[in-house]
Amino acid sequence: MNNIWAPWRTEYITSSKDESCILCTAPRNGDNLILIQGKLCFAIMNRFPYTTGHCMVAPYRHVGDIVEITPDEFPEIMATVKTIVTAIRSSLNPEGFNIGCNIGTVAGAGIADHLHMHIVPRWNGDTNFMPVLSDVHIISEHIESTLAKIKRHLP
């Protein structure tokens, strides 16, 4: 058996499981993984990322579908995505990105009731046998170190 070191998972495993929406409570509670707080949306590091630097942008309003986004929210969400991509590009030097929304549980949304856009930095070779065969993601850096790097490149 191989061991994979992921000490940040202990916080999740040992924490009480709150049934409230994390994307609603994070901005109100001053979550330390928040990168940007705008007027209508915010950006936050994904606590359980697919790759190093995986972030999300979400409206403050609790809406589950992109068709529910208002004409005012949409441009702010997209501008925030652009800002985060620019900061990640400057700080982590990825070779590409996956950016998008999973709308509905069947589409893979882990938080299906609160729309959010994923920003997933990608590097050549970052998909290997671990996620394909073992459903395990290898994160090369502690989330707080990545957070600090990205924050240094935000306006």
Cβ count near 101 (within 10 Å): 18
Comparing C-alpha atoms, which of 66, 13, 14 is closest to residue 41? 66
Answer whether 143's CB lies under 8 Å from 49's CB.
yes
Instruction: Determine the residue type at 67.
Output: V
What is the C-alpha to C-alpha distance for residues 118 and 45, in angstroms, rounded to an integer? Answer: 10
**Structure tokens, 140:** 């090369």
Q: What length does the chain have?
A: 155
The catalytic residues are: 116
What is the C-alpha to C-alpha distance for residues 115 and 64, in angstroms, rounded to an integer? Answer: 5
Q: Are strands 34-37 and 41-45 parallel, antiparallel or unpaired?
A: antiparallel
